Structure 1
Amino acid sequence: MNSVDLEKEKKYNKWIIALSIIIPLVVGGLFGVNLRDLGFDVEPLTFLPPIYATINAFTALLLIIAFVAIKKKNRVLHENLMTTAIGCSAVFLIMYVAYHMTSDSTKFGGDGIVKYIYFFILFTHIVLSIIIIPFVLITYVRAITNNIERHKKIARITFPLWLYVAITGVIVYIMISPYYT
Protein backbone atom coordinates (compact mmCIF):
# COMPACT_ATOMS: atom_id res chain seq x y z
CA MET A 1 0.00 0.00 0.00
CA ASN A 2 1.34 3.42 -0.94
CA SER A 3 1.83 5.97 1.79
CA VAL A 4 0.80 9.61 1.69
CA ASP A 5 3.60 11.79 0.32
CA LEU A 6 3.13 15.05 2.24
CA GLU A 7 6.47 16.48 1.11
CA LYS A 8 5.53 16.00 -2.52
CA GLU A 9 2.12 17.56 -1.84
CA LYS A 10 3.77 20.62 -0.25
CA LYS A 11 5.99 21.05 -3.32
CA TYR A 12 2.96 20.90 -5.59
CA ASN A 13 1.11 23.45 -3.44
CA LYS A 14 3.54 26.19 -4.56
CA TRP A 15 2.66 25.40 -8.19
CA ILE A 16 -1.05 25.32 -7.37
CA ILE A 17 -0.89 28.79 -5.83
CA ALA A 18 1.13 30.14 -8.75
CA LEU A 19 -1.12 28.62 -11.42
CA SER A 20 -4.28 29.68 -9.60
CA ILE A 21 -3.10 33.28 -9.82
CA ILE A 22 -1.29 33.23 -13.17
CA ILE A 23 -3.95 31.47 -15.26
CA PRO A 24 -6.80 33.92 -14.52
CA LEU A 25 -4.47 36.91 -14.88
CA VAL A 26 -3.07 35.72 -18.22
CA VAL A 27 -6.50 34.75 -19.57
CA GLY A 28 -7.98 38.05 -18.39
CA GLY A 29 -5.08 39.98 -19.89
CA LEU A 30 -5.16 38.14 -23.20
CA PHE A 31 -8.95 38.36 -23.41
CA GLY A 32 -8.65 42.07 -24.18
CA VAL A 33 -5.92 41.57 -26.79
CA ASN A 34 -6.99 41.15 -30.41
CA LEU A 35 -4.04 40.31 -32.64
CA ARG A 36 -5.78 41.81 -35.68
CA ASP A 37 -6.17 45.14 -33.85
CA LEU A 38 -2.42 45.05 -33.19
CA GLY A 39 -1.68 44.75 -36.92
CA PHE A 40 -1.09 41.00 -37.13
CA ASP A 41 -2.42 39.37 -40.28
CA VAL A 42 -4.31 36.48 -38.70
CA GLU A 43 -7.57 34.89 -39.71
CA PRO A 44 -10.33 35.02 -37.09
CA LEU A 45 -10.67 31.58 -35.53
CA THR A 46 -14.46 31.71 -35.74
CA PHE A 47 -14.71 27.93 -36.10
CA LEU A 48 -13.50 27.38 -32.52
CA PRO A 49 -16.60 28.11 -30.33
CA PRO A 50 -18.54 24.96 -31.29
CA ILE A 51 -15.36 22.94 -30.83
CA TYR A 52 -14.60 24.25 -27.37
CA ALA A 53 -18.28 23.98 -26.39
CA THR A 54 -18.09 20.32 -27.41
CA ILE A 55 -14.95 19.94 -25.30
CA ASN A 56 -16.89 21.39 -22.35
CA ALA A 57 -19.67 18.86 -22.96
CA PHE A 58 -17.12 16.06 -23.21
CA THR A 59 -15.50 17.25 -19.96
CA ALA A 60 -18.89 17.13 -18.21
CA LEU A 61 -19.43 13.61 -19.53
CA LEU A 62 -15.96 12.54 -18.38
CA LEU A 63 -16.64 13.93 -14.90
CA ILE A 64 -19.90 12.02 -14.61
CA ILE A 65 -18.38 8.75 -15.86
CA ALA A 66 -15.40 9.23 -13.51
CA PHE A 67 -17.80 9.76 -10.61
CA VAL A 68 -19.61 6.53 -11.47
CA ALA A 69 -16.27 4.72 -11.88
CA ILE A 70 -15.06 5.67 -8.42
CA LYS A 71 -18.41 4.77 -6.87
CA LYS A 72 -17.91 1.33 -8.43
CA LYS A 73 -14.37 1.32 -6.96
CA ASN A 74 -12.70 1.36 -10.38
CA ARG A 75 -9.85 3.62 -9.34
CA VAL A 76 -7.71 3.18 -12.46
CA LEU A 77 -10.56 4.18 -14.78
CA HIS A 78 -11.41 7.08 -12.47
CA GLU A 79 -7.81 8.33 -12.52
CA ASN A 80 -7.58 8.08 -16.30
CA LEU A 81 -10.88 9.87 -16.83
CA MET A 82 -9.98 12.66 -14.42
CA THR A 83 -6.58 13.17 -16.04
CA THR A 84 -8.33 13.34 -19.42
CA ALA A 85 -10.87 15.85 -18.04
CA ILE A 86 -8.02 18.08 -16.86
CA GLY A 87 -6.42 17.81 -20.29
CA CYS A 88 -9.72 18.70 -21.97
CA SER A 89 -10.06 21.74 -19.73
CA ALA A 90 -6.56 22.87 -20.69
CA VAL A 91 -7.30 22.41 -24.42
CA PHE A 92 -10.57 24.31 -23.96
CA LEU A 93 -8.74 27.19 -22.31
CA ILE A 94 -6.15 27.41 -25.10
CA MET A 95 -8.86 27.42 -27.78
CA TYR A 96 -10.95 29.95 -25.86
CA VAL A 97 -8.04 32.37 -25.59
CA ALA A 98 -7.05 31.81 -29.24
CA TYR A 99 -10.59 32.58 -30.38
CA HIS A 100 -10.80 35.78 -28.35
CA MET A 101 -7.36 36.92 -29.50
CA THR A 102 -8.32 36.64 -33.17
CA SER A 103 -12.05 37.38 -33.26
CA ASP A 104 -14.34 40.21 -32.26
CA SER A 105 -16.43 39.59 -29.16
CA THR A 106 -19.97 38.44 -29.79
CA LYS A 107 -22.71 40.38 -28.04
CA PHE A 108 -25.73 38.54 -26.70
CA GLY A 109 -28.77 39.71 -28.66
CA GLY A 110 -31.59 38.35 -26.55
CA ASP A 111 -33.81 40.49 -24.39
CA GLY A 112 -36.22 40.27 -21.50
CA ILE A 113 -35.89 37.49 -18.97
CA VAL A 114 -33.69 35.43 -21.33
CA LYS A 115 -31.06 38.18 -21.22
CA TYR A 116 -31.02 38.12 -17.42
CA ILE A 117 -30.80 34.33 -17.36
CA TYR A 118 -27.95 34.41 -19.88
CA PHE A 119 -25.96 36.97 -17.91
CA PHE A 120 -26.57 35.13 -14.63
CA ILE A 121 -25.32 31.87 -16.14
CA LEU A 122 -22.38 33.65 -17.80
CA PHE A 123 -21.42 35.47 -14.59
CA THR A 124 -21.56 32.36 -12.40
CA HIS A 125 -19.71 30.38 -15.08
CA ILE A 126 -16.86 32.90 -15.23
CA VAL A 127 -16.54 33.33 -11.46
CA LEU A 128 -16.61 29.59 -10.80
CA SER A 129 -14.20 28.88 -13.67
CA ILE A 130 -11.66 31.00 -11.79
CA ILE A 131 -12.48 29.52 -8.39
CA ILE A 132 -12.33 25.94 -9.71
CA ILE A 133 -8.67 26.14 -10.78
CA PRO A 134 -7.12 25.62 -7.33
CA PHE A 135 -9.85 23.12 -6.40
CA VAL A 136 -9.09 20.92 -9.43
CA LEU A 137 -5.34 21.15 -8.89
CA ILE A 138 -5.52 20.44 -5.14
CA THR A 139 -7.90 17.54 -5.69
CA TYR A 140 -5.60 16.07 -8.34
CA VAL A 141 -2.45 16.51 -6.26
CA ARG A 142 -4.06 14.87 -3.26
CA ALA A 143 -4.90 11.89 -5.43
CA ILE A 144 -1.43 11.52 -6.99
CA THR A 145 0.25 11.90 -3.60
CA ASN A 146 -2.06 9.18 -2.24
CA ASN A 147 -3.72 11.50 0.28
CA ILE A 148 -7.02 9.80 -0.48
CA GLU A 149 -9.04 10.86 2.58
CA ARG A 150 -8.25 14.55 1.97
CA HIS A 151 -8.76 13.96 -1.77
CA LYS A 152 -12.28 12.67 -1.11
CA LYS A 153 -13.13 15.65 1.10
CA ILE A 154 -12.18 18.27 -1.46
CA ALA A 155 -13.51 16.21 -4.39
CA ARG A 156 -16.98 16.53 -2.85
CA ILE A 157 -16.67 20.28 -3.47
CA THR A 158 -14.65 20.18 -6.68
CA PHE A 159 -16.88 17.76 -8.58
CA PRO A 160 -20.15 19.76 -8.53
CA LEU A 161 -18.36 23.06 -9.14
CA TRP A 162 -16.37 21.71 -12.08
CA LEU A 163 -19.43 19.96 -13.49
CA TYR A 164 -21.39 23.23 -13.23
CA VAL A 165 -18.63 25.11 -15.07
CA ALA A 166 -18.48 22.50 -17.84
CA ILE A 167 -22.26 22.37 -18.32
CA THR A 168 -22.78 26.13 -18.14
CA GLY A 169 -20.03 26.58 -20.72
CA VAL A 170 -22.17 24.59 -23.12
CA ILE A 171 -25.33 26.49 -22.14
CA VAL A 172 -23.61 29.85 -22.67
CA TYR A 173 -22.47 28.71 -26.11
CA ILE A 174 -25.95 27.51 -27.07
CA MET A 175 -27.52 30.77 -25.89
CA ILE A 176 -25.04 33.02 -27.71
CA SER A 177 -24.50 30.91 -30.85
CA PRO A 178 -27.32 32.56 -32.85
CA TYR A 179 -25.46 35.88 -32.52
CA TYR A 180 -22.09 34.74 -33.88
CA THR A 181 -21.24 36.48 -37.16
Structure 2
Amino acid sequence: MNPEDLPKLYTLFNACALLHIILGVVLIKQKQRTAHITSMIIALLFSTAFLGCYLYYHFTVGHVKFAGTGWSRPVYFTLLISHVPLAILNLPMIIMTVIPALRNRFDKHKRMAKWTLPIWVYVSITGIIIYLMCYEWFGPPIRA
Protein backbone atom coordinates (compact mmCIF):
# COMPACT_ATOMS: atom_id res chain seq x y z
CA MET A 1 0.00 0.00 0.00
CA ASN A 2 1.34 3.41 -0.91
CA PRO A 3 0.41 6.73 0.73
CA GLU A 4 -1.98 7.62 -2.12
CA ASP A 5 -4.19 4.69 -1.03
CA LEU A 6 -4.55 6.00 2.52
CA PRO A 7 -7.47 8.44 1.98
CA LYS A 8 -9.75 5.54 1.01
CA LEU A 9 -8.58 3.55 4.03
CA TYR A 10 -8.92 6.34 6.55
CA THR A 11 -12.34 7.25 5.17
CA LEU A 12 -13.40 3.63 5.60
CA PHE A 13 -12.17 3.79 9.22
CA ASN A 14 -14.15 7.01 9.67
CA ALA A 15 -17.31 5.41 8.26
CA CYS A 16 -16.89 2.36 10.52
CA ALA A 17 -16.46 4.66 13.52
CA LEU A 18 -19.62 6.54 12.52
CA LEU A 19 -21.63 3.31 12.30
CA HIS A 20 -20.43 2.25 15.74
CA ILE A 21 -21.20 5.66 17.24
CA ILE A 22 -24.76 5.44 15.94
CA LEU A 23 -25.06 1.81 17.08
CA GLY A 24 -23.69 2.79 20.50
CA VAL A 25 -26.38 5.45 20.88
CA VAL A 26 -29.12 3.01 19.87
CA LEU A 27 -27.79 0.42 22.31
CA ILE A 28 -27.64 2.79 25.30
CA LYS A 29 -31.19 3.98 24.56
CA GLN A 30 -32.19 0.31 24.70
CA LYS A 31 -30.42 0.05 28.08
CA GLN A 32 -27.86 -2.40 26.67
CA ARG A 33 -24.93 -0.93 28.58
CA THR A 34 -22.33 -3.65 27.86
CA ALA A 35 -23.10 -3.63 24.13
CA HIS A 36 -22.97 0.19 24.18
CA ILE A 37 -19.53 0.13 25.80
CA THR A 38 -18.29 -2.42 23.24
CA SER A 39 -19.62 -0.42 20.31
CA MET A 40 -18.14 2.83 21.60
CA ILE A 41 -14.74 1.19 22.20
CA ILE A 42 -14.82 -0.05 18.61
CA ALA A 43 -15.76 3.48 17.46
CA LEU A 44 -12.79 4.87 19.41
CA LEU A 45 -10.45 2.28 17.87
CA PHE A 46 -11.64 3.10 14.35
CA SER A 47 -11.32 6.83 15.08
CA THR A 48 -7.80 6.30 16.38
CA ALA A 49 -6.90 4.30 13.26
CA PHE A 50 -8.42 7.07 11.14
CA LEU A 51 -6.40 9.77 12.87
CA GLY A 52 -3.15 7.80 12.59
CA CYS A 53 -3.64 7.15 8.86
CA TYR A 54 -4.80 10.72 8.23
CA LEU A 55 -1.78 12.26 9.95
CA TYR A 56 0.64 9.82 8.30
CA TYR A 57 -0.85 10.60 4.89
CA HIS A 58 -0.58 14.36 5.28
CA PHE A 59 2.92 14.19 6.77
CA THR A 60 3.98 11.96 3.85
CA VAL A 61 2.08 13.48 0.93
CA GLY A 62 1.70 16.99 2.28
CA HIS A 63 -1.08 19.43 1.58
CA VAL A 64 -3.42 18.72 -1.30
CA LYS A 65 -5.64 21.22 -3.10
CA PHE A 66 -9.26 20.65 -4.09
CA ALA A 67 -9.50 20.21 -7.87
CA GLY A 68 -13.21 20.95 -8.24
CA THR A 69 -14.47 23.99 -10.13
CA GLY A 70 -17.65 26.04 -10.26
CA TRP A 71 -20.36 25.41 -7.66
CA SER A 72 -18.38 22.62 -6.00
CA ARG A 73 -15.75 24.99 -4.64
CA PRO A 74 -17.97 27.05 -2.30
CA VAL A 75 -19.77 23.87 -1.18
CA TYR A 76 -16.48 22.10 -0.47
CA PHE A 77 -14.89 25.02 1.38
CA THR A 78 -18.04 25.71 3.42
CA LEU A 79 -17.99 22.10 4.60
CA LEU A 80 -14.25 22.27 5.22
CA ILE A 81 -14.49 25.52 7.20
CA SER A 82 -17.01 23.97 9.58
CA HIS A 83 -15.37 20.53 9.62
CA VAL A 84 -11.78 21.44 10.54
CA PRO A 85 -12.32 23.41 13.77
CA LEU A 86 -14.96 20.96 14.96
CA ALA A 87 -12.63 18.02 14.19
CA ILE A 88 -9.91 19.69 16.27
CA LEU A 89 -12.35 20.37 19.10
CA ASN A 90 -13.74 16.84 18.86
CA LEU A 91 -10.64 15.03 20.17
CA PRO A 92 -10.52 16.71 23.59
CA MET A 93 -14.31 16.47 23.83
CA ILE A 94 -14.16 12.71 23.24
CA ILE A 95 -11.49 12.40 25.92
CA MET A 96 -13.59 14.50 28.30
CA THR A 97 -16.54 12.20 27.61
CA VAL A 98 -14.66 8.92 28.02
CA ILE A 99 -12.79 9.75 31.24
CA PRO A 100 -15.93 10.19 33.40
CA ALA A 101 -17.28 6.88 32.02
CA LEU A 102 -14.04 5.14 33.00
CA ARG A 103 -14.42 6.62 36.49
CA ASN A 104 -18.05 5.47 36.73
CA ARG A 105 -19.23 9.09 36.71
CA PHE A 106 -22.09 8.40 34.31
CA ASP A 107 -23.91 11.62 35.18
CA LYS A 108 -20.91 13.62 33.95
CA HIS A 109 -20.38 11.23 31.01
CA LYS A 110 -23.99 11.69 29.89
CA ARG A 111 -23.83 15.50 30.19
CA MET A 112 -20.65 15.64 28.11
CA ALA A 113 -21.89 13.09 25.57
CA LYS A 114 -24.86 15.35 24.75
CA TRP A 115 -22.34 17.83 23.32
CA THR A 116 -19.75 15.38 21.99
CA LEU A 117 -22.13 13.08 20.11
CA PRO A 118 -23.57 15.57 17.58
CA ILE A 119 -20.13 17.05 16.90
CA TRP A 120 -18.54 13.60 16.45
CA VAL A 121 -21.35 12.55 14.08
CA TYR A 122 -21.15 15.82 12.13
CA VAL A 123 -17.36 15.61 11.81
CA SER A 124 -17.59 11.99 10.66
CA ILE A 125 -20.27 12.67 8.07
CA THR A 126 -18.63 15.82 6.71
CA GLY A 127 -15.28 14.02 6.64
CA ILE A 128 -16.75 11.36 4.37
CA ILE A 129 -18.34 14.00 2.12
CA ILE A 130 -15.07 15.98 2.00
CA TYR A 131 -13.19 12.81 0.98
CA LEU A 132 -15.74 12.07 -1.77
CA MET A 133 -15.59 15.62 -3.08
CA CYS A 134 -11.80 15.89 -2.93
CA TYR A 135 -10.78 12.41 -4.11
CA GLU A 136 -13.67 10.85 -6.02
CA TRP A 137 -16.28 13.21 -7.48
CA PHE A 138 -14.18 16.06 -8.84
CA GLY A 139 -10.97 14.33 -9.85
CA PRO A 140 -7.83 13.71 -7.87
CA PRO A 141 -6.62 16.55 -5.66
CA ILE A 142 -3.72 18.68 -6.77
CA ARG A 143 -0.53 18.29 -4.73
CA ALA A 144 0.46 21.63 -3.30
When normalised by structure 2's length, the TM-score is: 0.90
In the alignment, is the contact (CA less than 8 A) between 1:66 and 1:77 conserved in 2? yes
2: distance between equivalents of 1:96 and 1:110? 21
Q: Does 1:129 align with 2:110?
A: no
Deviation at 1:105, TM superposition (A): 3.0
Gaps of 5+ in 1: 1-42
Q: Does 1:155 align with 2:113?
A: yes
In the alignment, is the contact (CA less than 8 A) between 1:45 and 1:99 conserved in 2? yes
SS in 1 for 2:64: coil
Partner of 1:62: 20
Identity of aligned residues (%): 36
* Corresponding residue to 2:124 among 166, 176, 179: 166
Q: Name the Cα RMSD after superposition.
A: 1.6
Name the structure where helix makes up a greater proportion of residues.
2
1: distance between equivalents of 2:73 and 2:26? 35
Matches within 5 A, 1:90-101: 90-101=48-59
Partner of 2:32: 74
Deviation at 1:147, TM superposition (A): 0.8
Q: Deviations over 1:111-134 (max 9, x none)?
A: 233211101111211101111112
Range with greater deviation from structure 2 (97-106 or 58-67):
97-106
2: distance between equivalents of 1:71 and 1:119? 35
2: distance between equivalents of 1:68 and 1:111? 39
Structure 1: 4+ residue segments shifted above 6 A: none
Q: Does 1:179 align with 2:140?
A: yes
Q: Deviations over 1:77-134 (max 9, x none)?
A: 1111111111111111111111112224321122233211101111211101111112
2: distance between equivalents of 1:93 and 1:133? 10
Structure 2 residue identity aligned to 1:115: R
The size of the alignment, in residue pairs, is 139
Q: Deviations over 1:109-167 (max 9, x none)?
A: 22233211101111211101111112111111111111111111111111010011111
Gaps of 5+ in 2: none
Q: Does 1:112 align with 2:70?
A: yes
* Corresponding residue to 1:85 among 29, 35, 43: 43
Larger radius of gyration: 1
